[in-house]
């Protein structure tokens, strides 16, 4: 498993909000160790038994073993929350918040990379290592402990494919939702590097979609590096019209760039099989593991 394991100790930023509180409960039920929450001005309260602090610094002073933060703070204030976590030296920050201004994302992601902090997201479902912990908003029961690493730009589509993988008896080592925005903190290549070093992971499923060229860069990298584990790709948006945002801010074919065809072609050139339907992913996987 990668990123999230039994050592994971979580801080929830924006814990008193509707989403923050709801998912704190779901994460606790899944077995995630949540040590503290932060909402400025709400220090001293408790949310599902988790103590709330006014600042990240305060939360860490009393809970020095926190090593991961999950951010539910609303978009206009999300950047501030992320900077606060970076400056408090938390090294893994999962940003769930959608609709964060793109210039804010550019700056806090650049800052995080300079400081050696890993950001997952924004606008993502988070990370789950089945049976161990989830730092995210995905329905836990769909996932089963196993050998397939999943990395995805989408939420529910990941659940769909993970469910099929679970039903086939393969299960997942870790699933990472990297987010649906044009700018993300951690890209496909970085997650595949982690999966390569992870012994439990026997194969990797990449769930991409239209927009940008992250899939094309990944395909090129897989070929050049001679990636050691089987990779199976699925690309959503073959039927998406150009110039239209398909739900995610990053899912847009602009100026002829970012089409599904371009991504599929790149993967095929790199010898990565591309499933035509989500069900086909499992069929291909079974040939490898």
Partner 1 sequence: MKLYEYQAREIYMKYGIPVPKGEVASSPQEVRRIAEKLGSPVVIKAQILVAGRGKAGGILFAETPEEAEKISRNLLGKKIKGCVVKKVLVVEKVQFEKEYFLSITVDRDNRVYCFLVSRRGGVNVEELAKKHPEDLLRVNINPLVGLLDYQIRKILSFLSLTSNQKKDLYKIIKAMYEIMRKYDCELVEINPLAVTTRGDLIALDTRMIIDDNSKYRHPDIEEPEEEYTEYEKIAKEKGFSYVELDGDIGVIGNGAGLTMATMDLVFHYGGRPANFLDIGGGARAERVKEAVKVLLQHPRVKVILVNILGGITRCDEVAKGIVAAVKEASVEKPIFVRMMGTNEEEGKRILRSAGINVYESMEEAALAAVKVVR
Active centre residues (catalytic): 248
Q: Residue written as tokens 């870790």?
A: 174
Closest CA to 12 of 76, 83, 94, 87: 94
Query: Binding mask 28-67 vs partner 1 (x if CB under 8 A, - otherwise)?
Result: ----------------------------------------
202 or 248: CB nearest partner 1: 248
92 or 164: CB nearest partner 1: 164
When asked if residue 228 is in the footprint of partner 1 (CB under 8 A), the reply is no
Task: Work out which of 129, 209, 232, 273 binds partner 1, going by CB under 8 A.
Answer: 209
CB of residue 64 vs partner 1: minimum separation in angstroms?
A: 29
Q: What is the DSSP string of 65-106?
A: T--EEEE---HHHHHHHHHHHHHTT-SEEEE------HHHHH
Task: Work out which of 42, 54, 83, 160 binds partner 1, going by CB under 8 A.
Answer: 160
Q: Rounded distance, CA 221 to CA 14, Å?
A: 37
285 within 8 A of 148, measured Cβ to Cβ = yes
Query: Binding mask 115-154 vs partner 1 (x if CB under 8 A, - otherwise)?
Result: ----------------------xxx--x---------xxx
Q: Rounded distance, CA 145 to CA 91, Å?
A: 25
When asked if residue 100 is in the footprint of partner 1 (CB under 8 A), the reply is yes
165 within 8 A of 191, measured Cβ to Cβ = no
66 or 137: CB nearest partner 1: 137
99 or 269: CB nearest partner 1: 99
Strand partners, 46: 51
Q: Rounded distance, CA 237 to CA 98, Å?
A: 20
Task: Work out which of 155, 171, 230, 273 binds partner 1, going by CB under 8 A.
Answer: 155
Q: Rounded distance, CA 131 to CA 117, Å?
A: 26
Of residues 8 through 27, those in contact with partner 1 by CB under 8 A are: 22
When asked if residue 207 is in the footprint of partner 1 (CB under 8 A), the reply is yes
232 within 8 A of 208, measured Cβ to Cβ = no
Q: Rounded distance, CA 157 to CA 170, Å?
A: 18
CB of residue 274 vs partner 1: minimum separation in angstroms?
A: 12
Q: Give the Cβ contact number of residue 19 at 10 Å.
A: 15
9 or 245: CB nearest partner 1: 245
Residues near partner 1, by CB under 8 A: 22, 75-76, 99-103, 106-107, 109-111, 114, 137-139, 142, 152-160, 163, 180, 182-183, 207, 209-210, 212-214, 217, 234, 236-241, 244-251, 255-256, 276-279
């Amino acid at each position: 498993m990668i990123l999230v394991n039994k050592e994971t100790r979580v801080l929830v930023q924006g814990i008193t909000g509707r989403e923050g509180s709801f998912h704190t409960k779901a994460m606790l039920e899944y077995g995630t160790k949540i040590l503290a929450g932060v909402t400025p001005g709400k220090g001293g309260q408790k949310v599902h038994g988790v103590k709330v602090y006014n600042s990240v610094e305060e939360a860490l002073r009393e809970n020095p073993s926190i090593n991961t933060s999950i951010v539910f703070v609303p978009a206009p204030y999300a950047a501030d929350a992320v900077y606060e976590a970076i400056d408090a030296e938390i090294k893994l920050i999962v940003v769930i918040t959608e609709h964060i201004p793109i210039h804010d994302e550019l700056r806090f992601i650049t800052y995080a990379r300079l400081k050696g902090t890993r950001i997952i997201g924004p606008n993502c479902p988070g990370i789950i290592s089945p049976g161990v912990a989830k730092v995210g908003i995905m329905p836990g029961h769909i996932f089963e402990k196993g050998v397939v690493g999943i990395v995805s730009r989408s939420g529910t589509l990941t659940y769909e494919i993970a469910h099929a993988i679970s039903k086939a008896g393969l299960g997942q080592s870790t699933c990472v939702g990297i987010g649906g925005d044009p700018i993300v903190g951690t890209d496909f290549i970085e997650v595949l590097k982690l999966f390569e070093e992870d012994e439990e992971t026997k194969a990797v499923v990449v769930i991409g979609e239209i927009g940008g060229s992250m899939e094309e860069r990944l395909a090129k990298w897989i070929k050049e590096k001679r990636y050691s584990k089987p990779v199976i790709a699925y690309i959503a948006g073959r039927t998406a019209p150009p110039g239209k945002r398909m739900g995610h801010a990053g899912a847009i074919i602009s100026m002829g760039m970012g089409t599904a065809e371009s991504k599929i072609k790149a993967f095929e050139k790199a010898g990565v099989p591309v499933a035509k339907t989500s069900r086909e992913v499992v069929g291909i996987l079974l040939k490898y593991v």
